[in-house]
Amino acid sequence: MSRRKLQEKSRHHFPTIHNFQMKNHHIAEVSKFYHNFKNFYLGADSTEGCNYRGPLCMNLDFVPRWACSNCTKALRMSLAQGDLCLICQTYLQLTGKIRPASNVVFNDEDFQKIQDWNQMEISEGRSIQMVEFEKIQEEKITNRWMRNELTEEEEDMIDIPHRGRWNKLTETEKMEIGAKIVEQLKPHPLPLFKKCQCEDVENVPIRAPSPVRVMMSREMILKSFRKIGEEVKKPTAKRRKM
């Protein structure tokens, strides 16, 4: 296939990525992301070994700022001690002290989440975990989308016909359009990086570009070989006659 045909074939992917994955990005940004993403995986075999132990590549466990026990200590009614946002965690690791967070400024969306969380705990008469609160909030947003109640930003992100005559539609038609709205607005996490599984002996180490090379230990390699040997010795399943 010629280079020109390859370029034409690649361009067909851009509108699809833009419509379903990156609605709030310009098409030029989609093009840049596509090529960077493709080059990363095409060049993976010639790069250094996995660097999951590196400080910039390790898995981090943190909560958003609206759920941080330090940032929201003046606003939240019940706090889950130890749940820190990335900023507070970094400060703690560098200084060994809790970040002096006072008069923290939140955007309107995060501030509303804190208020809703407090109100929900008052109504329920109990402490509510962040996971449960997020699930309830997600259900509320989905129901709002199903009713065709959108914000100005959400209006700009979708392209669905017949929404203008919503009150004239049947209940079945409203359900169908509502489902399309949810499909177009629901978040799609972009897989920018693969999660490392080097310590899982059932998987081949995933290669990633890194200036620092981390070698697998001899014990880990031998354990992998033993696991492979056990899999090879397993009898194959017999085919059933139809």
The per-residue pLDDT for range 50-108, each reduced to its tens digit, is 555 556 556 678 899 999 999 999 898 777 677 899 999 999 989 999 999 888 999 99
The C-alpha atoms of residue 138 and residue 140 are separated, in whole angstroms, by 5
Predicted confidence at residue 152, as pLDDT, reads 87
- The distance from CA 26 to its chain's CA centroid, rounded to whole angstroms, is 20
- The distance from CA 111 to its chain's CA centroid, rounded to whole angstroms, is 22
- The one-character DSSP state at 62 is -
Predicted confidence at residue 5, as pLDDT, reads 44
Mean pLDDT, residues 39-47: 55
How buried is residue 136: exposed, middle or buried, by Cβ count under 10 Å (0-12/13-18/19+)? Answer: middle
Predicted confidence at residue 112, as pLDDT, reads 93
Judged by DSSP in three states, 56 sits in: coil
What are the residue boundaries of the structural domains of the chain, listed by start? 58-126, 129-192
Residue 175 pLDDT class (50, 70, 90 cuts): very high
- Cα atoms in the 13 Å half-sphere on the side-chain side of 236: 3
Instruction: Give the CA radius of gyration of the chain.
Output: 25
Q: Tell me which of 190 and 24 has the higher pLDDT.
A: 24
Mean pLDDT, residues 165-189: 86
